[in-house]
Structure 1
Amino acid sequence: MTTTENRPDTVVTETVDWGAAPADRAGWLQRAREVRRVLERDAAAREKAGATPHAEVALLKDSGLVTLLGPVEHGGGGQEWPLAHRVIREVAAGDGSIGQLLGYHLLWFWAARLVGTPEQIEAVEAQATRERWFFGGAVNPRDGDLVIREEGDELVWNGRKSFSTGSRVSDVTVLEGVIEGTGTHVFAIVPSHQDGISYAGDWDNIGQRLTESGSVTVTDVRVPWAAAAGFVDRVFRPRVYNTLNVPIIQLVFVDFYLGIARGALESAAAWTRTVTRPWLHGGHERAVDEPYQLDLYGDLTAKLWAVEALADAVADESLALHRDAWTVTAQQRGEHEVRVAALKARATEVALEVTSAVFEGLGARATASGHGFDRFWRDVRTHTLHDPVAYKRREVGAWVLRDELPEPTWYS
């Protein structure tokens, strides 16, 4: 097990009395909406300032959202993934960056279940829940693998990753690397703030600016062999569920794409109702009576509702795989990944459309930088380049025409 003794203090900028933890699904969704309301009040200003989001992560911790999936007996919410996906969407509607941070955190919180032994799962989830760990990950597969050398009962990690979402605001980081001279991959959870981990602070992209997704250098980080996830007597015990990290993270991507799109649409509608002026030659006294406005918002809402419904359905389908984690088959996993791929393709297109098209309903004055309406499109555009959406459509087409299931990779 690891500790978080070296983590920096967080500063809460707004005090909220959250009261007792929610007792059911409806309560947790309401809690997520309350977090959204806090975040959206100054989202544009915080994004422009670009400060490391310590206070925002403290908000997620204090509200209980970071331990949503944690065991109840250790103070967690005891909830399941379909609800977690809805929660991520709500938070992302208020701030896309914080929605991404929460989504990645929940995936890495789940990492022990994906690859760990039963004993490791129990130990990690108990401590992570009690201590409210916030997870980051240094696993970007487009870079070379971290190199691991064996030294007695320890594994020593070295290397660099271009992206490490959560980096400086995380308590612990999931590392993945390969034991030198072998093809053996190893996952482990380590304290984020230690001498052997250096964050460059070089995340300077046009969107998702508060995700702390810059590069990380790992130098002689030591992990006991016993902490290598899923290994028994230094031999990995594989199962199909190990590969479910990709469908989970792709669903998380969908969550914050759709959340950002909803935030854009609802923010734009509020502006159109109260600020946008009718066209001077249109013959209407209010912008909300303009036929083009009614058509625009009706079209965008219908498209977003459709993809949200598909997202809910695919998330519900995943529940059986999570509950049968030790017996899930390659066929079940592959069929689920096809559905995730189809959803990812549609969510990408709709989120890009919504976050761009809302400007037609806002009017020219809304383009003033202080209003920050552009952040929704910039956030979606930045992250939807994570992996080519054409390959998602290809997965679906190969299944339809050739009955081929996606081969598990880091992206499928």
Structure 2
Amino acid sequence: MSTEQTERPAETSPAGSWNDRPAPRTPAEWLTRAAEVGAILAADAVERDRAGQTPYTEVQLLKDSGLVTLLGPVEYGGGGQTWETAYRVTREVSKADGSIGQLLGYHYLWSWAVRFLGTPQQIAAVEELATTNRYFFGGAVNPRDDDLVITEDGDTLVFNGRKTFSTGSKVSDLTVLEGVLEGTDQHIFAIVPSAQDGIVFADDWDNIGQRLTESGSVRITNVRISWDDAAGYVNREFRPLVYNTLNLPAIQLVFTNLYLGIAQGALETAAAYTRSTTRPWPYGGDNKESAVDEWYILEAYGDLQSKLWSVEALTDQVGTQLSQILHGDREAVTARQRGEIAVRVAAAKQRAIDVGLEVTSRIFEVTGARATASSVGLDRFWRNLRTHSLHDPVAYKRREVGRYTLLNEIPEPTWYT
């Protein structure tokens, strides 16, 4: 695999010299680092959301701060942390900017693709390359599109096709591809450099939310890899494990933490506005001098915060359980174990969506009419959460939990479960 950096405009991290500071070592220190990154992103989040520019600077911040290497092996300069911490870091960044939180969460998922599928030799090679260079991952694996077509040319595999969504696209250094070998039912994953003539990003992401995720379409033309780089293949044969299918629960929990982070950021931002700007209602018969003493405002914040705390508790519990599986023996994972954690992820995701949409909508009731000004930017939280929460129908997550509860059935692995 080429180690050449993706060509892009030179950027400088707005945080100054991160290299002059010691790297985080503990989960708490990584969360502190994520909060520092979040504070930088929050400072101009409204303006950046409006501008909708390709987030080169923001991704450089993720690199310079070291967050991109959190899961990387220590021997290559990575953080050596677990998925439990990666989920919380994703959530922390999402509080400030849902788009950049999504990019980071997807990066963690795609950087782990080689562990889901690869051989020990492939894992070592990719992790050394990506961690040492602080490479950023994107992915072109939208399963609702036609599969990329893979043809053989001697010892080389050639990918061709188009994907509607490719989150991370122009800001990525490495892209995960997936396709089907022509004339077979063999799915093949590969990790390739993003900067090459055969990968063309269309710049057609124009949605109401998650505007900075670079999630537009991509055209793949004659992208070539060696058979040796086909993830998990040995002598052109793949030996499947249940562990291979854990990428779906893993990314669904990335979604959950993204939604929870957006909702937490919305409530924190609204509370700051209420404290500083919201005026009390003078016609209620129980007039207060300050909005923070209004009973209906206190009641609403109490209700919303309680709901968020409950979702956070469930999400953290599931994150701990899934992390233990992801960092455990790959060959020991059973179908039942995989199915039960998928159900728990489904439960957490649906609660994060429901509560998140309630929070991002009701914050206007407790901030007041003036808070709808574009300059305040409270609408971005709802737009971001609503946009991404339509990724796959939440009703199917409820059904999965229902079938488990009533029939003791675990969900079959699919591209969305």
C-alpha distance after superposition, 1:151-198 (max 9, x if no partner): 001000000000000000000100000001100000000111110011
Mapped contact 2:161–2:220 kept (Cα < 8 A): yes
The 5 Å alignment of 1:228-239 reads 228-239=230-241
Offset at 1:122? 1.1
RMSD: 0.9
Q: Which residue of 1 aligns with 2:61?
A: 59
The 5 Å alignment of 1:7-406 reads 7-12=7-12, 14-18=14-18, 19-282=21-284, 283-322=287-326, 323-406=328-411
Separation of aligned partners in 2, 1:4 and 1:278: 58
Specify the SS of the correspondent of 1:371: coil
Specify the SS of the correspondent of 2:195: coil
Mapped contact 2:42–2:97 kept (Cα < 8 A): yes
Separation of aligned partners in 2, 1:213 and 1:62: 23
Mapped contact 1:7–1:192 kept (Cα < 8 A): no
TM-score by length of 1: 0.99
Specify the SS of the correspondent of 2:331: coil
Aligned residues: percent identity?
A: 65
Mapped contact 2:138–2:176 kept (Cα < 8 A): yes
Offset at 1:13? 5.5
Mapped contact 1:202–1:215 kept (Cα < 8 A): yes
Offset at 1:58? 0.2
Offset at 1:320? 2.6
Separation of aligned partners in 2, 1:144 and 1:24: 42
Specify the SS of the correspondent of 1:129: helix
Specify the SS of the correspondent of 1:370: coil
Q: Give the direction of change, closer, same or farther, for the CA distance of 1:88–1:203 in structure 2 (3 Å limit).
A: same
C-alpha distance after superposition, 1:76-117 (max 9, x if no partner): 000000010000000000100000000000000000000001
Separation of aligned partners in 2, 1:166 and 1:58: 13
Mapped contact 2:15–2:40 kept (Cα < 8 A): no
Where in structure 1 do 4 or more consecutive aligned residues deviate above 2 Å?
1-7, 15-18
Separation of aligned partners in 2, 1:267 and 1:315: 26
Specify the SS of the correspondent of 1:369: coil
Specify the SS of the correspondent of 2:183: coil
C-alpha distance after superposition, 1:42-92 (max 9, x if no partner): 000001000000000000000000000000010000000001000000000
Whichever residue aligns with residue 352 of structure 2, its letter is A
Separation of aligned partners in 1, 2:7 and 2:235: 32
Separation of aligned partners in 2, 1:10 and 1:40: 22
Where do 5+ consecutive residues of structure 1 fail to align?
none
Whichever residue aligns with residue 11 of structure 1, its letter is E
Separation of aligned partners in 2, 1:24 and 1:342: 29
C-alpha distance after superposition, 1:257-306 (max 9, x if no partner): 00000110000000000100000113100000000000000000000000
Offset at 1:2? 3.0
Where do 5+ consecutive residues of structure 2 fail to align?
none
Mapped contact 1:108–1:136 kept (Cα < 8 A): yes
TM-score by length of 2: 0.98
Offset at 1:332? 0.4
Offset at 1:3? 2.2
Separation of aligned partners in 1, 2:362 and 2:377: 15
Separation of aligned partners in 2, 1:210 and 1:37: 17
Separation of aligned partners in 2, 1:167 and 1:325: 30
Offset at 1:370? 1.4
Offset at 1:371? 1.2
Offset at 1:403? 1.2
Separation of aligned partners in 2, 1:145 and 1:199: 17
Mapped contact 1:264–1:354 kept (Cα < 8 A): yes
The number of residue pairs the alignment matches comes to: 412
Offset at 1:251? 0.2
Offset at 1:388? 0.3
Separation of aligned partners in 2, 1:297 and 1:320: 34
Mapped contact 2:210–2:388 kept (Cα < 8 A): yes
Mapped contact 2:35–2:93 kept (Cα < 8 A): yes
Separation of aligned partners in 2, 1:405 and 1:2: 41
Specify the SS of the correspondent of 1:326: helix
